[in-house]
Structure 1
Amino acid sequence: MPDPTILPAAAPDAMPGLLAALVAEQDREAAAWLETAVATPPLPGTAEFMRLFAIAGRKPAGTAPPGWPPARLARAALLAASVHAAGDEAPARLATAFRRSDSAERAAILQSLMLLPDPARFADLAADACRSSVQPVFEAIACDNRYPAAHFAEPVFNQMVLKAVITGAPLARVVGLAERTTAQLRRMAADFRDERRASNRPVPADLEFLLELGN
């Protein structure tokens, strides 16, 4: 089964169908429910969207691509259809949906960002999510997700990487880290290492890994 984050480029209105096809490989009953839901999708953040988004989290059972909990595929399909329907209102409406979501739903939104039409529009939401103190929410944007490498400005990306080190999110799962590592990021990492050593605190192994990138 292909990783949905590397699906071939598709028109925005085709992405829900591609995701639904992945769901169908796992659970045809769930796929039938999803087909009905995305046919006339509610706008993100509305009460009907939140209701369907919650239900989608219980569909389907089975396997999924690495890094993707099975139910997130259904949520990603519903989200892609709803964001496409929202047009220019999508950033504001998705921000509303994010605020109204629980932690699992927020993680699904973040992991799905690269599958949405014109994903660069959601950079502010993704950057704000990096401040989350809920580890699964932070890891949904920081780990196994192409969005930060593709759309984060350098300061935002650097802060995300350092937070990953601090919180124990594996840097090996930060997509595009080698390509986005700059001299500034290495300086920040070196300063953090020196602070840890000065206070006789252990230096995280991933910090040394980061400092070796590009050397």
Structure 2
Amino acid sequence: MLLAAAPEAMPGLLTALVAEVNPEAALWLDATLAAPPLPGTAEFMRLFAIAGRKLNGSASPGWPPSRIARAALLAASVNVAGEEAPARLATAFRRSDSAERAAILQALMLLPEPTRFADLAADACRSSVQPVFEAIACDNRYPAAHFAEPVFNQMVLKAVFTGAPLARVTGLADRTTSQLRRMATDFRDERRAAGRPVPADLDFLLDLGN
């Protein structure tokens, strides 16, 4: 339902999810979204940090209210940013801590015209901070929907290398190509030749589509 919603309706839908478990926090969020700041500004970063601390509990669709609230703030702020949204969101990402960066990546599919943020998402795949990398690589529909094949393939191999479970890479079966299988085979052969253990997920990957 969320992904099918119109961009302008997204903040309200997310606020309603927060209201199911924390009505008081939803009132705060609704007031905050009445005049959302542009992404990356000092006021945005202040509110984004508050949203992460202010809310607790659990909510549908399995996200904590803090994550939903941050997604609502992102959606509202990106809506008002217009064509500046990609650059401004990149600024917000640079100014965020690891938890905030993960929240941005997890919300990308809920933002208007999400394809615009493919460069930001691809850059996040290079992160050496595992929770940040897993925020884009695992349980996230964005890579399968919007990554070019080389970027997606590199993300999958990095997941194998870093121990992020491939079972959590959304859409992997549909995006597994002969090129990705060749890359996985080469990686497996290199590990064996070096006498190093072969990650079990390499076999999982090579079995896809067979």
User: For 2:143, which of 135, 142, 148 is the aligned residue?
Assistant: 148
Given residue 31 of structure 2, which amino acid in structure 1 is its aligned partner?
T
1:21/1:31 contact within 8 Å kept: yes
1:101-112 pair list within 5 angstroms: 101-112=96-107
- SS of residue matched to 1:45: coil
1:158/1:185 contact within 8 Å kept: yes
Is residue 24 of structure 2 the alignment partner of residue 29 of structure 1? yes
Give aligned pairs, total. 210
Given residue 79 of structure 1, which amino acid in structure 2 is its aligned partner?
L
Indicate how the Cα distance of structure 1 residues 65 and 130 shifts in structure 2: closer, same or farther if over 3 A, else same: farther
Given residue 134 of structure 2, which amino acid in structure 1 is its aligned partner?
E
Distance 2:5 2:95 in 1: 29
- SS of residue matched to 1:40: coil
Q: Report which stretch shifted further, 60-69 or 14-23.
A: 60-69
Indicate how the Cα distance of structure 1 residues 67 and 137 shifts in structure 2: closer, same or farther if over 3 A, else same: farther
After superposition, the C-alpha distances for 1:131-165 in whole angstroms (9 at most, x for unaligned) are 00000000000000000000000000000000000
- SS of residue matched to 1:13: helix
Runs of 4+ in 1 over 2 A off after TM superposition: 64-70
| Deviation for aligned residue 1:117 | 0.2
| Deviation for aligned residue 1:32 | 0.6
Is residue 167 of structure 2 the alignment partner of residue 165 of structure 1? no
Distance 2:108 2:151 in 1: 16
1:130-209 pair list within 5 angstroms: 130-209=125-204
| Deviation for aligned residue 1:64 | 3.2
Is residue 66 of structure 2 the alignment partner of residue 52 of structure 1? no
Q: Counterpart of 2:15? A: 20
| Deviation for aligned residue 1:65 | 4.4
Given residue 55 of structure 2, which amino acid in structure 1 is its aligned partner?
P
TM-score (norm 2): 0.97
Q: Which runs of 5+ in 1 are unaligned?
A: 1-5
| Deviation for aligned residue 1:97 | 0.3
Q: Provide the aligned C-alpha RMSD in A.
A: 1.1
Is residue 76 of structure 2 the alignment partner of residue 93 of structure 1? no
TM-score (norm 1): 0.95
1:26/1:60 contact within 8 Å kept: no
Distance 1:165 1:151 in 2: 20
Indicate how the Cα distance of structure 1 residues 115 and 168 shifts in structure 2: closer, same or farther if over 3 A, else same: same
2:3/2:109 contact within 8 Å kept: no
Q: Which runs of 5+ in 2 are unaligned?
A: none
Q: Counterpart of 2:73? A: 78
